[in-house]
Amino acid sequence: MKTIIGLLVVILVVFGIAFGGAYYFQKGVEDKMDGKVESIATASLQGLREQARLTAFMASFVAVVTSTQERLGLKAEKTMIMPGTVRYEIDLNKLQPTDVKWDKESNVLTVNLPPLILAGPEVDIDGIKQYDGGGILMALTDAGETLDAANRKRGQDELMKQAKGEVPMRLARDATRSAIERSFAMPLKAAGVKATVVAKFADEGQEAASDEQNHGQAENAQVQNAHQEPEGGAHTPAEQGTHE
């Protein structure tokens, strides 16, 4: 009996040593991997900051503006068609080490990006076209120069307004995120680290939460409406189409 107990004790001790050794070995490997990821991420961040600015997306727009002026009972009008290009950039110097976070549980490296900067517009001078009316007033006064100046200002404002639209801003954000993710993912892959890089803008989390809240409210409204029968009785889809 004592022999059996002694044998069990030896087995437990050997198992404990083996298990403990495996645990500390695995922990050591994970700690080494975490340090490797952090070193690569720090080097990638430093390389990006040295570039100062990243332009990942450019878009061209066309503004059509018209200005008028009345003097001496006469009226002058000029229309300008102004093409221009806007660059979408981020200031890489604003990226800080705290903006790069490694989650070893999910193997995800998250990069928080500074806001987009719209640079421009760069007006295509050769592509500008103008149409005018009211030659007498423009011949007698400086109305032509005044209208040109007004159209140039309005044209540039219109180009920037178009550049801030939902579609170009979404495309610019997607292009910027992809560029940053590649900048971090490529060195990690080259080092044999299996990791997912996710770049995001600070306000995207708020937008997602807002969208989710709105979606939830819409679903609640649908559920409530489903229990309320419309006046005059419920309509089938076909009947609703007929009434429309």
Please list the helix, strand and coil fractions of the chain in percent, rounded to the nearest 5, in that order: 55, 25, 15
pLDDT tens sequence across 43-80 = 988 888 888 899 999 999 999 999 998 887 888 899 99
Angle formed by the axes of helices 166-190 and 2-50, to 10°?
Answer: 130
Nearest to 109 by CA among 200, 232, 213, 8: 200
Q: What is the pLDDT along the chain (244 residues), one digit of tens a residue?
A: 556 655 554 454 444 444 443 333 343 334 445 567 888 988 988 888 888 899 999 999 999 999 998 887 888 899 999 999 999 999 999 999 999 999 888 899 999 999 999 999 999 999 999 998 767 777 778 888 899 999 999 999 999 999 999 999 999 999 999 999 999 999 998 888 889 999 999 887 554 434 434 444 444 444 344 444 434 433 333 333 333 3
- Residue 211: CB atoms within 10 Å: 10
pLDDT value for 51: 85
pLDDT tens sequence across 71-111 = 878 888 999 999 999 999 999 999 999 999 998 888 999 99
List CB contacts of 208: < 8 A, sequence separation 6 or more: none
List CB contacts of 51: < 8 A, sequence separation 6 or more: 92
Beginning with the edge strand found earlier in the chain, give each strand of the sheet holding 108-113 in spatial order: 100-103, 108-113, 196-201
The residue type of 151 is N
List CB contacts of 115: < 8 A, sequence separation 6 or more: 90, 201, 202, 203
